[in-house]
Homo-oligomer: A and B are copies of this chain.
Amino acid sequence: MDSRIKLNSFEFHKGNIGGIWEALRTVEKGSPEDALTWEKVNIPHCYNSFDSVDPNIPYYQGPSWYRKTIEINNPHKNGNTFIFFEGAGQIIDVYLDKKHIHTHFGGYDEWKIDLTPYLIKNKTKYKLIIKCDNSRNLNTIPSDLSDFTIFGGLYRNIHLIYEPELFIQNLYLTPKYNEINKSGELVIKVEFNKVPKNCKLKISIKDKNNQKQKEFNILENKEIFKLKVNFDRVDSWSPNFPNLYTCEIKTEDSTVSDFFGFRSYKFEKNGPFYLNGNKLLLKGTHRHEDHAAMGAAQSLESITEEMNLIKEMGANFIRLGHYQQNRAVLNLCDKLGILVWEEIPWCRGGLGNSTYKDMGKRMLINMINQHYNHPSIIIWGLGNENDWPGDFETFDKEEIKKYMKELNNLSHKLDNSRKTAIRRCDFAKEIVDVYSPSIWAGWYRGHYKEYKEATIKHINSVNHFLHVEWGADSHMNRFSENPNCELNNIKMGMGTDERSNEASLFGGISRVSKDGTWSENYACDLFDWTLKEQFDIPNLTGTAFWPFKDFSTPLRKDNPIPYINQKGVVQRDLTKKEVFYVVQSYWSNTPMLRLFGHQWKIRWGELLEEKEFRVYSNCQKVELFLDGKSLGIKERNISNFPATGFRWKSQLEEGKHNLKAIAYSNNNILSDEYSFYYQCKKWGIPKKINSKFIEENNKFFWEIEVVDSTNIRCLDFREKVNFSSTFPSPLVTNMGTSTGSKVIECANGRSIIELNNTGIGSILSAYIEGLPICYEKYSPRRIND
């Protein structure tokens, strides 16, 4: 019998309603009541999936409503019925028929509502009405000064749950691993919903192969039940071998079960980090719950694809900044072997009143209780950038420290098996177990070559250092023949941290983030150098670059893709950028090979100028062929920057060329290949926009290029293009990707937008200030003609 029913379809109204009766009354077509529109949607659903990246409007921050008729038929005599939310944004009010039954503050934790007291005998149909509200709010966390979208909607799953009269409310599994003798211990804590009376419990523990390891039959009479189980020898959980055990507990009419894993870890004073007794460099990234066309309502499929990609890249660590994430993410971290720093959404703005503080504590309690059993989690994060003022008239460091201590104590009290951590709040760095300062060498400040010195200084300044958040924005498909010029005006010795308002594109000292071109080359150089250096700091615990995937943010309207934080190594739809392969070449153990610059369709320079070609690979040897001719075999040398020595030079004639790389790694042979054009002709002033249609992998695109008066592509042109269309529009927009935005900066004088190949056609237009507008007639059949 299914005791957990996922609620899939709802009716949705964007905007507020005048009162609960507006959601309940019957409506005749065309009547005044009918002006309040309800649209059918499926859960998960986020009402900022598209507008969060619309270049022309700020995203909607306000209330919206969901409703559906639910049928409640709890099969258990005197059973308990719950509605369970895996999370929703941001303040949620729940009504059963016209009765307001619950308010939940917080967009990221789980909660359930006991419907039992509200149910009426013999009545099975109820209206479930839910108000979501993501209005700006100084009294809730996270702050609207945060550099990410604060989404609204029922963006995670919702379930109706039927429990019997007596059931297990909570199951806490606390495993211990003895790395010396490989023995294990498991403390099982069961919390019933009420005092049981001779409740027959059957507890069984199975290993990863579903083999029963232990079994207990118990008669229980207490509301809270504890059992300690010892194991002589266990398979430990680790990134390479994420062995998961299962603990299943059956009462007469219900079953609960959860995974757990045996592992031990240690942050040595001033590093390094040890897992199960072995030194492990934490190779990490970050992610937001934010995906093209989905917003925060990321499907399980895309979450799974994303986590698999993170694993494929070679990461063994992730910081789930800046809030408790979807349970599916943690399950995948357990399964894939990715260690986790999970944190509460106390992010930027300062510290509010007691309601605000209570919310922060509640978020911490819920995160720990709800994700307690995940073996992947090693750190509970207490906050991010809490040195950032702005939301309150006063900013009191002592108050913030005091509150941080409360959170730190609370975390240890709830879970003394895990560490606490924060990032970027220097005046509170002594409070937590693990601290990450701000180091953005080569991006928000300084040169990437200053990375190691800054890091070592920080390692020695706290007990347990871990560096989270570093990286560089890159505008996919934008390449540079001279990425070093980005560093021309950068002064060294001025620090490497991000300072007040220097993430912006305006004001302040010279920095690559503001003055650079956001080329893929530069991002690769920065990553290449930094990753190399990280391997060269023996006591480094680990790092996490920011972030794995591009995501939307209300703070970055003027970016090449408006409202997108472009620091991801993959785009918002998981398309890999070049820098993904750089990371993979350092971190992954699976042989890989990437000829840099597949989308660098045109390279440029003088006739017969010597140009460099790079390969990112973790294989021992790579041979490069230019136009079929070998340029030689190179051996991998991790300290040979750039590209671990996999770089070749050759003179180039103007025209089309072919590059091919072959990599050798033990028994593996890999190859990669692409063609490009070498342009020696110099371009003049941009004069015109040309355009063409492209079909690629069954997708359709419109590409525009900016050329001079003699039709030479202006390869350094990077102004914004405004794509538009007559009605009905085939443009794929508001995706926050390099091929899915109405407004986007050109990359090497070109820009591309995806088209829906359906409908009846239209006129497309590309507008760039100062140039004649480019028009093109598009009919869906045209491309295939």
Q: Using a CB–CB distance below 8 Å, which chain A residues touch chain B?
A: 15-19, 21-22, 24-25, 28-37, 58, 60-63, 98, 135-139, 144-147, 348, 390-393, 501, 504-507, 554-555, 557-558, 722-728, 760-765, 767, 773, 775, 777
Contacts and interface: CB of A to CB of B under 8 A. Distances in A.
A598 B63 CA distance: 49
A449 to B, nearest CB: 27
A304 to B, nearest CB: 32
Summarize A's interface: helix, strand, loop or mixed.
loop
Given A33-B145, A762-B765, A765-B763, A21 B726 contact: no
Contacts of A37: 58
Contacts of A554: 35
Given A18-B137, A136-B17, A728 B33 contact: no
A32 B348 contact: yes
B724 A15 contact: no
B392 A21 contact: yes
Nearest to A24: B393
Contacts of A22: 136, 138, 144, 391
A147 to B, nearest CB: 7
A21 B767 contact: no
B19 A390 contact: no
A320 B33 CA distance: 24
Given A28-B501, A28-B507, A29-B504, A135 B726 contact: no
Oligomeric state, in number of copies?
Answer: 2
Given A504-B29, A765-B727, A61 B15 contact: yes
A726 B775 contact: yes
A32 B555 contact: yes
A660 B740 CA distance: 59
B775 A18 contact: no
Nearest to A557: B35
Nearest to A147: B32
A557 B18 CA distance: 20
A715 B37 CA distance: 35
29 contacts: A15-B60, A18-B138, A19-B136, A19-B137, A19-B138, A22-B138, A22-B391, A25-B390, A30-B505, A30-B506, A30-B507, A32-B144, A32-B390, A32-B555, A33-B145, A33-B390, A35-B554, A35-B555, A37-B58, A62-B63, A98-B393, A726-B763, A726-B764, A726-B765, A727-B765, A727-B767, A760-B773, A762-B765, A763-B763
A767 B390 contact: no
A741 to B, nearest CB: 13
A145 B501 contact: no
A724 B722 contact: no
B763 A18 contact: no
Nearest to A60: B15
Contacts of A728: 767
